[in-house]
Amino acid sequence: MINRRKFLTQAGLASAGMVLAPNLLSAKTPNGVGLQLYSLRDQLPKDVKGVIAKVAKAGYSEVETFGYSAQNGFWGLKAKEFSALLKANGLKTPSGHYGLDEFFGTGKMDIFNSYIDAALATGQTYIVIPSLDHNFIKTAADFNKIADKMNKAAAICKSHGLKLGYHNHNFEWEKVEGTTFYDTILAKTDPALVSMEMDIYWVVRAGHDPVKIFQQHPGRFAMVHVKDMDKGNHELNTEIGSGTIDFKTILGKAKLAGIKHFIVEQENYTNIDPYKSLAQSSAYMKNSLHI
């Protein structure tokens, strides 16, 4: 499976005993089915306008961006041009994946500022960290340093009316000196500033229970990535509802946990046209999962 970090570098919650916080019970209805555009990373550079039109036709109402740069924008379109393209196709973009390794490594703001500008130009709410340089998190002390830097980055986002998010893979649960990076950032980042985007596939692949994590950290999760695990090869994705992950249970609890954005992502396709695959996932999300 393609490693996202390398790619970016190169270019019962509802169990009887659980008491939910009042603000979670009053959570708003989700905003429809979203798509992480990384799912179409091979197609977008060739025909960004055509791809976005097909995403809308496949039944999506939101997209999550990735790969922005000040030089190339979004696949050759400036942020405002890309925003206009989304609007023309009835799409919104609540969040984008923006690598912050330069900020975490040196404190420089040049690239970070360009991301803030792009997020504001497209109407996004969340600047999401998709992953980070593993050299930054070798020790428990490193975990704490990055958590502190996340709080600083989140404060900067807040000053521009934005929020910071963090997207997980599975490496975050590797034990180091009796703790994990995921436990550290949940404990040490400010819940009012740092929102979590749970990638359900990677949580399951790491051997953890998404519902239990929602239960342990109510209110921390604003978004989820929804991608299914192939029955024959757990390293591969498949269409939502066709794999091994019990999304009916997990997403039911996710809605109770106050999650607003349900974002499909598929990193590979097996003997199926990508657009057919994504339309199948969108239909299952709406008809069977009621998103």
pLDDT of residue 126: 98
Task: Give me the residues paired with residue 238 across strands.
Answer: 228
pLDDT at residue number 27:
40
Question: Beta strand pairing status for 228-229 and 237-238?
Answer: antiparallel
CA distance 67 to 209: 30
Q: Residue 96's beta-bridge partner residues?
A: 65, 127
> How many domains, in total, are found in the chain?
1
* Of 23-27, 109-113, 268-272, the least confident: 23-27
**Encoded tokens for 95:** 């969040």
pTM here is 0.90
Residue 30 has a pLDDT of 61
Q: Is the pLDDT of residue 17 over 60?
A: no
Q: Among 103-107, 171-175, 224-228, 253-257, whose mean pLDDT is lowest? A: 253-257
Q: Which domain holds residue 32?
A: 4-9+28-287
Percent above pLDDT 70 for the chain = 90
Mean pLDDT of 30-48: 95
85 belongs to a structural domain: yes
pLDDT at position 21: 37
Mean pLDDT is highest, among 5-9, 154-158, 214-218, for 154-158
As to burial, measured by CB atoms within 10 angstroms (0-12 exposed, 13-18 middle, 19+ buried), residue 21 is exposed
In tens, the pLDDT along 108-122 reads: 999 999 999 999 999
Question: Across the chain, what does the average pLDDT equal?
Answer: 91
Average pLDDT over residues 70-99: 98
Q: Does pLDDT of 18 surpass 60?
A: no
Q: Is residue 20 part of a domain?
A: no
Residue 16 belongs to some domain of the structure: no
Q: How far is the CA of 228 from the CAs of 33, 201, 262, in angstroms?
A: 15, 6, 13
Q: What was the pLDDT predicted at 3?
A: 52
Asked if residue 23 is part of any domain, the answer here is no
Residue with tokens 């976005």: 52
Instruction: Determine the pLDDT at residue 31.
Output: 83
Arithmetic mean of pLDDT, 252-261: 91
**Per-residue pLDDT at 225 exceeds 70:** yes
19 belongs to a structural domain? no
Q: How do residues 51-74 score in pLDDT, each as one tens digit?
A: 999 999 999 999 999 999 999 999
Give the residue-averaged pLDDT of 13-27: 36
pLDDT above 80: residue 20 = no
CATH number at residue 84: 3.20.20.150
* pLDDT reading at 143 higher than 80: yes
In a domain, 79, yes or no: yes
- Please give the average per-residue pLDDT across 172-186, as a whole number: 97
Residue 100 predicted with pLDDT over 50: yes
Q: What is the mean pLDDT of residues 161-173?
A: 97
Residue 157 pLDDT exceeds 80? yes
Q: What's residue 130's pLDDT? A: 98
pLDDT of residue 9: 43
Task: Give the model's pLDDT for residue 4.
Answer: 52
